[in-house]
């Protein structure tokens, strides 16, 4: 019976809990940090030399990015004060209304994978608002700091200019 008291002593229990907590916390990978829902804080587009270019989503973009533990992801980004259609029928928009709606919103979904060595997350797009995006892979350089995720794109063409996107996300769940 003496061995039982020694085994379940307060110091022994504390040491076991500390070992369990440290082992569990240390086992979290970079890929695990992606899982959850993220709110868009900012979306900046910069030129190759780092100069700020105005975002097509305006000064206060809104968005949500979601990653699950099974490798699925989706993202939606919009300008805060998007132009509304005059008609209540979404298929009855004028050419200008449809153009404005398309230019002020982006969305896609698919799968994701993480290369921790290169610090790159790849979004493999299954379907997208921009039809040419379906079936493509988007590589993003990532960085985590204080429950925030920064995703930086390689240079890409936007409105005839080469830009680099820098998106800051705040974890909400």
Q: Per-residue confidence at 49, pLDDT binned at 50, 70, 90?
A: confident
Query: pLDDT tens digits for 103-139?
Result: 999 999 999 999 999 999 999 999 999 999 999 999 9
State the Cα–Cα distance between residues 1 and 137, nearest whole angstrom: 63
- Residue ranges per structural domain of the chain: 1-28, 35-171
CA 39 to chain centre: 8
Q: Are 60 and 42 in contact (CB under 8 A)?
A: no
pTM of the model: 0.80
Which residue is it, tokens 């921790």?
Answer: 116
CATH number for the domain whose boundaries are 35-171: 2.40.128.280
* N-to-C CA span, the chain: 46
The alpha-carbon radius of gyration of the chain (Å, integer) is 22
Q: Are 65 and 73 in contact (CB under 8 A)?
A: yes
State the Cα–Cα distance between residues 106 and 78, nearest whole angstrom: 7
Query: pLDDT tens digits for 92-107?
Result: 999 999 999 999 999 9
């Amino acid at each position: 019976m003496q061995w039982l008291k020694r085994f379940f002593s307060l110091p022994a229990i504390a040491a076991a809990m500390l070992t369990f907590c440290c082992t569990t916390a240390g086992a979290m990978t970079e890929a695990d940090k992606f899982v959850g829902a993220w709110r868009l804080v900012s979306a900046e587009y910069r030129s190759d030399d780092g100069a700020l270019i105005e975002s097509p989503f305006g000064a206060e973009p809104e968005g949500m990015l979601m990653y699950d533990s099974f490798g699925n992801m989706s993202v939606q980004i919009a300008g805060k004060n998007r132009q509304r259609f005059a008609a209540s029928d979404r298929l009855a928009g004028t050419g200008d209304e449809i153009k404005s709606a398309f230019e002020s919103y982006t969305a896609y979904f698919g799968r994701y994978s993480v290369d921790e060595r290169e610090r790159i997350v790849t979004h493999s797009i299954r379907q997208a608002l921009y039809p040419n995006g379906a079936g493509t892979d988007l590589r993003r350089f990532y960085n985590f700091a204080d429950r925030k995720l920064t995703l930086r794109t390689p240079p890409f063409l936007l409105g005839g200019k080469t830009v680099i996107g820098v998106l800051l996300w705040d974890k909400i769940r």
